[in-house]
Amino acid sequence: MGIKERQERDREAVRRAILDAARDLFVTEGYPNVSIRKIAERIEYSPAAIYGYFASKDDIFLALAEEGFHLLSAPAAIGPDDRLPPLDRIRGIFWRLYEFSREHPQYFWLMFVDRSVPRICREYERSPFVRELRRDLVAQVQRAIDTGSLPSTVDASVAFHLLATGVMGVALMRLSDRGPTDIADDLARDVVNVLIAGLQTGTRLASPPIVWPTETVHAQVS
């Protein structure tokens, strides 16, 4: 191994240590109570060394969030592929979201539950991967509409958020140890199936199409 490769390996090891320490501290002590100095103390580095990797605590969180979305969307983990019927694809996607809450509870908590962290939806411009992932997932719902698996009256963005909200509700119930957690897996499956069945009936939805902040900006510019 050459000097450059060794330096890159060492740098990545320190970056990994920063992220791991920050993730644990954000969850156990609360995001507002964690400072760069506290993260540095956890890994026995100086605060100045941390700034050599991340400009701020928010940047550390956003790096963790993007890492979490990569874990959530890994092709090997998400399961069903595009060759499956559209509704089976949707079931697989939202079951993966529930599985993610079980496999990576700290990431799930920080990304979707903790209200004290920076709002990811306001930082999409800093993470093209996260922005494109959301668009791809909504496109999977739109595919079900385009193929007639869901009625044409269904808005893909609304359907996506209904399904995500239902699954996250079960995931949060299990994470907080409230309610019938012993049947949480079955509840998660039932929630997805019942919501899909409801969407198939063409029930009128009160929710308007959902526009994210960056989409609003793009629309104004164009």
* Predicted pLDDT at 218: 39
Please check whether residues 65 and 51 belong to one and the same domain: no
Q: Using a cut of 0.75, tell me whether the model's pTM lies above it.
A: yes
What amino acid is encoded at 70 in this protein? Answer: H
CATH number at 46 reads 1.10.10.60
CA separation for the pair 79, 72 (Å, rounded): 11
- Per residue in 204-219, pLDDT (tens digit) is 889 998 876 655 433 3
Q: Which two tokens stand for residue 57?
A: 């605590």
- Per residue in 148-186, pLDDT (tens digit) is 999 999 999 999 999 999 999 999 999 999 889 899 999
Please check whether residues 172 and 213 belong to one and the same domain: yes
Please check whether residues 36 and 79 belong to one and the same domain: no
Spell out, as residue ranges, where the chain has pLDDT lower than 50: 216-222
Please check whether residues 65 and 113 belong to one and the same domain: yes
If 0-12 CB within 10 Å is exposed, 13-18 middle and 19+ buried, where does residue 111 land? buried
Which residues form the domain of 215? Answer: 58-221
Please check whether residues 102 and 31 belong to one and the same domain: no
